[in-house]
């Protein structure tokens, strides 16, 4: 892997105009401009629509098989971002999985605080099932806040006794809105994209009247028993490293098949930069292999797999 690639990406992110913890309207506009500044490949199509009452954007590539669905949850600290903004990374995952991606436009805070995002995610998944798509042909994918939302949604589905999807893959999940992980401070000097102060600001927006370790907002505190196979990818140069590590440990504690991949010296949601970072392309190929391996695999909730980590 190229150290120069990592240094170039770090430099680019440190000079990016986005202030995650700043004014919400401004942050949304800047984030949208950043995410759409690079056009989608010409063979990618995006189609706005709805799943039940929930707005979605369906992302297709020539490799897409309509029988398989990636239900995709975008990042943005629960306050910024959109399904359309996530189309680039969703398309990268979709292409490698040979499946269509359906990006969920869940409601954002502070206008719509917790549990609005979870309610929308559950409703979108339920609408897929109502369309006749088997649960074992659906996989969840989420990035950053969308990664935490992915796991929270799985917990909500289990509690509602709904059929679980085949697997879930999360990139750099924000899984602890109390921002209590040691890496929040220990990795702050290495993280070019996020600060603990910004996350605490957005956590207050999302949690509203809720306070403390609410399991459906911070799934590191949830009972994860019965969740489907889970892949967690995280970079070692991000303040959310401990969120990923603790989430994997929590899943293993509750007998979930979980795989943890810690990619050295790369930043938050590094998978977004496959065009310039070899590690991103490799991580996406690994994620796609995990998704494909579990498309129609039925595992007992008490079948556990050891937590694994990529060598540094």
- The residue ranges of DSSP E strands in the chain, in sequence order, are 45-51, 54-60, 65-73, 99-104, 138-143, 167-171, 230-235, 258-263
List of residues 6+ apart from 85 with CB closer than 8 A: 31, 32, 35, 36, 74, 76
C-alpha to C-alpha distances, 7 to 1, 157, 193, 273, nearest whole angstrom: 12, 41, 14, 13
Catalytic residue among 94, 143, 237, 238: 238
The residues, any chain, with a CB within 8 Å of residue 153's CB and separated by 6 or more, are 73, 118, 121, 122, 125, 140
Catalytic residue (choose from 94, 144, 166, 183): 144
Instruction: Write the Ramachandran bin of 179: left for phi over 0, alpha for psi from -120 to 50, otherwise beta.
Output: left
Task: Give the closest residue to 125 by CA, choosing from 68, 71, 58.
Answer: 71
Can 268 be counted among the known catalytic residues?
A: yes
Alpha carbon 276 to its chain's center: 21
282 is annotated as an active-site residue: no
98 is catalytic: no
Catalytically annotated residue among 74, 237, 257, 268: 268
User: Shortest CA distance to 142 belongs to which of 184, 195, 83, 206?
Assistant: 83
Contacts of 281 (CB under 8 A, 6+ apart): 274
Q: Which residues are catalytic?
A: 144, 238, 268
């Amino acid at each position: 892997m190229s150290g120069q690639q990592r240094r170039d990406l770090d430099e680019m992110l440190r000079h990016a105009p986005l202030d995650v913890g700043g004014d919400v309207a401004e942050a949304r506009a800047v984030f949208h401009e950043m995410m759409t500044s690079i056009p989608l490949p010409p063979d990618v199509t995006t189609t706005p629509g709805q799943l039940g009452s929930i707005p979605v954007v369906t992302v297709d590539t020539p490799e897409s098989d309509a029988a398989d669905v990636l239900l995709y949850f975008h990042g943005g600290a629960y306050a910024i971002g959109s399904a359309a903004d996530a189309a680039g990374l969703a398309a990268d995952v979709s292409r490698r999985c040979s499946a269509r991606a359906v990006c969920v436009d869940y409601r954002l805070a502070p206008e719509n605080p917790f549990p609005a995002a979870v309610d929308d995610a559950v409703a979108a998944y339920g609408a897929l099932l109502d369309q006749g798509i088997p649960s074992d042909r659906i996989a969840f994918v989420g990035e950053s806040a969308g990664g935490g939302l992915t796991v929270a949604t799985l917990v909500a589905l289990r509690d509602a006794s709904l059929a679980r999807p085949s697997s879930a893959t999360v990139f750099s999940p924000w899984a602890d809105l109390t921002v209590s992980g040691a890496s929040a401070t220990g990795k702050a000097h290495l993280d070019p994209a996020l600060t603990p102060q910004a996350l605490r600001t957005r956590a207050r927006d999302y949690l509203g009247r809720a306070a403390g370790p609410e399991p459906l907002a911070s799934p590191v505190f949830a009972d994860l028993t019965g969740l489907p196979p889970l892949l967690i990818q995280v970079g070692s140069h991000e303040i959310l490293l401990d969120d990923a590590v603790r989430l994997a440990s929590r899943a293993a504690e509750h007998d979930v098949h979980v795989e943890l991949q810690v990619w050295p010296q790369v930043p938050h949601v590094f998978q977004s930069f496959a065009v310039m970072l070899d590690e991103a392309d490799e991580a996406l190929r690994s994620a796609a292999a995990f998704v494909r391996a579990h498309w129609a695999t039925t595992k007992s909730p008490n079948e556990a797999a050891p937590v694994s980590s990529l060598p540094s």
